[in-house]
Structure 1
Amino acid sequence: MRAAGRGGPVTRAAVLSAALAIVDRDGVEGLSMRRLAEAVGRDPMVIYRHVPNKAAVLDGVAEIVFAQLSVDVKDSDWTAQLRVIARDFRALALEHPHVVALLVTRPLATPLGQRPPAVVRPLEDILTLLTQAGFSGETALHIYRALFGFLYGHILNELQEVVERPEETDEVLRLGLHRLPVNEFPLLRELAPLLAHYDGAAELERGLDILLNGLAATL
């Protein structure tokens, strides 16, 4: 979606597209109704006709990102499809890192039935995928919650890992582990090379192996 320029039509989609561009560039704290109006090239009162306040804008930004997440409900291999969904969600998060907090928190601030269809659609489609694979509705919901609980945690961990001294080549110094008593935290010292070189794609696959293999075996 492209934001409307001066002289072009102003639509809710154009306003939200402009808001996403601002958040991608400057973070959520960089978004204001005034800056949004400037990006769209309109008086702020025009913006309020499409989104009543900043909270509605943030909800809309989460909505248009979630709308890019698709589920193939006809896939006969439910574990393979859930892997595709997980990889696609991670790709969206890496493309829009400033939006991740909105994806995790904004939908939860609204009752399920009042959330935009694009936000609820992945839930409905994953439940459809799993019930068609033979799971009960209750079990399908459990799998969905386990999957997205893992995904949210993984993405937040991957994007927010902070290195104290990135210029250092010694992993203990890079992570600031020299500040911790070595006799109290020996395993952190030992695993410093792995902690300092986080491979998000590989960690996602390892986590999915554990989660999906466990679900397939026990459910």
Structure 2
Amino acid sequence: MKTDSGGRPARTPLSRERVLRAALAVADTGGLESLTIRSLAHELGAKPMSVYYHVANKSEIIDGIVDLVFSEIELPAPDGDWHAGMRRRAASARSVLRRHPWAIPLLQTRTKPGPATLRHHDAVIGSLRSAGFSVAMTAHAFALIDSYVFGFALSESVLPINGPETVTEVATSMIPAGFPDLYPHLIEFTTEHILKPGYDFGAEFDFGLTIILDALSGLAPHGAEGLSGS
């Protein structure tokens, strides 16, 4: 361990990368509303003015940590099976957004995208173009897939049900007691599906993604490739 002249552990110098990583940690712990220059400086063990040496303002910090989130998402190979690549990329995005739920509404709002964001978009577009989709169909496919993935991630982040272990408690508390005749379809759906052992809302992700990718496969020039068995 390095020490300073007084024998104390030497501080790791601040850098833009270290500042953004600390900002990411603050946002993950307390949400984006908890991220301030003061909270960031506290996380770094530094003075607020030291932070400003590496980032101009909070907007620049948000741009930076959104780019870090994009950097964690697996990218499809430019010359690989687009169907399998998009499935992996979608699953990876969902997993990343479960770690960083605060980022969901920000992924498509930043007007100063970083290199990881640009690389991500370029790879997705390149994969779809290599599959033979026209530029217009690539736009349709990209929008459709991301609307589904980001929308599902948002649903998961706000649902009161957090995994199979909370299903029974939450589902039963939401059904009005003493009025089964008023909501027969809801009662049937809840008792015969939601309350079945092992129910997990997250399992719906693969079902919906398969439908979307298989539908897009039928529209691709190489349409027989990559149906749901691949």
TM-score, structure 2 as length reference: 0.78
Aligned to 2:227: none
1:58 aligns with 2:47: no
CA distance 1:192–1:171, shift in 2 (3 Å): farther
AA of the residue aligned to 2:80: S
Secondary structure at the residue paired with 1:8?
A: coil
What's the counterpart of residue 215 of structure 1? 216
Cα offset for 1:179? Answer: 6.4
SS in 2 for 1:108: coil
- Within 5 A, what are the aligned runs for 1:140-219? 140-163=138-161, 169=168, 172-174=171-173, 176-178=174-176, 182-193=180-191, 194-195=193-194, 197-200=199-202, 202-219=203-220
Correspondence 1:49 to 2:53? yes
Contact preservation (8 Å) 2:76, 2:88:
no
Name whichever structure is richer in helix by fraction.
Answer: 1
Specify whether residues 167 and 156 from structure 1 end up closer, same or farther in structure 2 by C-alpha distance, changes over 3 A only: closer
Task: Give the deviation of 1:11 after TM superposition.
Answer: 0.8
Name the CA shift for 1:76/1:169 in 2 (closer, same or farther; >3 Å): closer
**Hey, what does 2:225 align to over in structure 1?**
none
AA paired with 1:109?
T
Deviations 1:107-126 (A, max 9, x none): 43333xx3212123222111
1:139 aligns with 2:137: yes
1:89 to 70, 89, 93: 93
Describe the SS at the equivalent of 2:176: helix
Contact 1:172 1:189 survives alignment (8 Å) = no
Task: For 1:156 and 1:57, locate their aligned partners in 2 and report how far apart those are by CA, in whole Å.
Answer: 22
Does the 8 Å contact 1:75/1:81 carry over to 2?
A: no
Letter in 2 for 1:110: R
| 1:184 to partner: Cα distance | 4.7
Tell me how far apart the structure 2 counterparts of residues 101 and 134 of structure 1 sit (CA, whole Å): 35
Shift in Å at residue 76 of structure 1?
Answer: 2.9
Q: Is the 8 A contact 1:158 1:198 kept in 2?
A: no
Q: Which runs of 5+ in 2 are unaligned?
A: 1-8, 221-230
Measured in 1, the distance between the counterparts of 2:178 and 2:118 equals 44
What is the CA distance between 1:7 and its match in structure 2?
A: 2.2
Highest RCO, 1 vs 2 (Cα 8 Å, sep ≥ 6):
2
Q: Find the aligned partners of 1:172 and 1:36 in 2 and give their Cα distance.
A: 39
* Equivalent residues of 2:27, 2:34 under 8 A apart: yes
Alignment-mate amino acid for residue 173 of structure 1: T
Using the TM superposition, give the Cα deviation of residue 187 of structure 1 relative to its aligned residue in structure 2, in angstroms: 2.1
RMSD: 2.6
143-152 or 45-54: which moved more? 45-54
Contact 2:74–2:89 (CA under 8 A) maintained in structure 1: yes
Q: Which residue of 1 aligns with 2:33?
A: 29
Identity of matched residues, %: 28
Preserved contact between residue 11 and residue 50 of structure 1 (Cα < 8 Å): yes
How many residues align? The count is 206
User: SS at 1:125's partner residue?
Assistant: helix
Distance change in 2, residues 1:178/1:75 (3 Å): farther
Between Structure 1 and Structure 2, whose CA radius of gyration is higher? 2
Distance in 2 between residues matched to 1:167 and 1:133, nearest whole Å: 42
